């Protein structure tokens, strides 16, 4: 082997780690943020990975996922989001309302995709449902707006019942407040409806 060929081969070998690092850096990174623990959310993480895979994005092959768990400490979410932003991540998947609000407060440029049971307009995540605007979009469960209907149905099913209880998660005060208000509207609706009979 001639000297020039040897130097060319050695130079090429020296750049392999750099090329590998550049390839890894080019892989999109999803920041996955959740207020609770990985154990409590294992099924949903599996569904998230499956959904990515069905869209052609396999973790470790096409996309990297950086998981951040607040372990039921919502106050730690801003620090976790800051860590994801410093990585940097391509997108943040916020798996609950507190995580979505923390991500929105931290970045106006990184796309944020949320999942919440709250009304995203009411809690300030988006400006409207049909045109979310800015860098935030996601899916919502309309369950929060059904509190009035649920209470009305309970009153019809159990007309002799004098009291109903609503259980909410105190670790999610924004959603809890929305459900309480909606259920209270339902109580008014049921009382008005019963008095008009």
For 5-29, what is each residue's pLDDT tens digit? 433 333 444 444 444 444 445 789 9
pLDDT at 168 exceeding the cut of 70: yes
Domain closes at, from 96, 112, 140:
140
User: Is 47 in the same domain as 130?
Assistant: yes
User: Is 136 in the same domain as 160?
Assistant: no
Indicate whether 5 belongs to any domain. Answer: no
pLDDT mean over 95-121: 92
- Rounded to two decimals, the pTM is 0.66
Residues sharing a CB contact under 8 Å with residue 129, sequence separation 6 or more, in sequence order = 120, 121, 140
- Strands across the sheet with 64-69, in order? 64-69, 29-34, 91-94, 112-116, 136-140
Indicate whether 60 belongs to any domain. Answer: yes
Which CATH number goes with the domain that contains 30? 3.40.50.2300
The closest alpha carbon to 67, from 24, 47, 96, 37, belongs to 37
The closest alpha carbon to 191, from 151, 132, 144, 134, belongs to 151
Could you tell me if 126 and 162 are in contact, meaning their C-beta atoms sit under 8 angstroms apart?
A: no
What digits encode the pLDDT tens for the residues 136-147?
Answer: 999 887 655 677
Signed CA dihedral, 73, 76, 81, 83: sign only: negative
Collect contacts of 79-84 with beta carbons under 8 A, ≥24 apart: 80/33, 81/31, 81/33, 81/105, 81/106, 81/107, 82/106, 84/31, 84/33
User: Is 151 in the same domain as 131?
Assistant: no
DSSP strand pairing (91-94 vs 29-34): parallel
User: Is 130 in the same domain as 151?
Assistant: no
pLDDT at 119 exceeding the cut of 90: no
Q: Look-up: residue for tokens 């990975």? A: 49
Give the domain extent around 97.
10-140
Across the chain, what does the average pLDDT equal?
80
What digits encode the pLDDT tens for the residues 60-104?
Answer: 999 999 999 999 999 999 999 999 999 999 999 999 999 999 999
Indicate whether 4 belongs to any domain. Answer: no
User: Is 17 in the same domain as 100?
Assistant: yes
Residue 177 confidence (pLDDT): 78
User: Is 177 in the same domain as 113?
Assistant: no
Residue 144 confidence (pLDDT): 56
Residue 187 confidence (pLDDT): 57
pLDDT mean over 111-136: 87
Residue 193 confidence (pLDDT): 42
Q: How many domains does the chain have?
A: 2
Distance CA 172, CA 153 (A): 26
Most confident residue range from 29-33, 174-178, 184-188: 29-33
User: Is 33 in the same domain as 95?
Assistant: yes
Indicate whether 126 belongs to any domain. Answer: yes
């Amino acid at each position: 082997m001639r000297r020039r060929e040897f130097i060319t081969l050695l130079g090429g070998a020296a750049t392999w780690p750099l090329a590998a690092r550049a390839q890894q850096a080019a892989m999109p990174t999803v920041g996955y943020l959740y207020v609770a623990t990985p154990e409590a959310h294992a099924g949903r993480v599996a569904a998230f990975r499956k959904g990515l895979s069905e869209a052609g994005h396999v973790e470790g092959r096409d996309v990297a996922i950086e998981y951040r768990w607040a372990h039921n400490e919502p106050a730690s979410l801003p620090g976790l989001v800051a860590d994801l932003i410093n990585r940097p991540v391509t997108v943040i998947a916020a798996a609950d309302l507190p995580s979505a609000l923390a991500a929105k407060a931290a970045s106006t440029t990184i796309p944020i995709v949320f999942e919440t049971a709250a009304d995203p307009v009411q809690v300030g995540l988006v400006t409207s449902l049909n045109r979310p605007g800015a860098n935030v979009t996601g899916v919502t469960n309309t369950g929060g707006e059904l509190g009035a209907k649920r209470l009305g149905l309970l009153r019809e099913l159990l007309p002799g019942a004098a009291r109903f209880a609503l259980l909410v998660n105190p670790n999610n005060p924004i959603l809890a407040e929305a459900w309480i208000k909606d259920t209270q509207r339902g109580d008014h609706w049921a009382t008005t409806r019963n008095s008009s009979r």
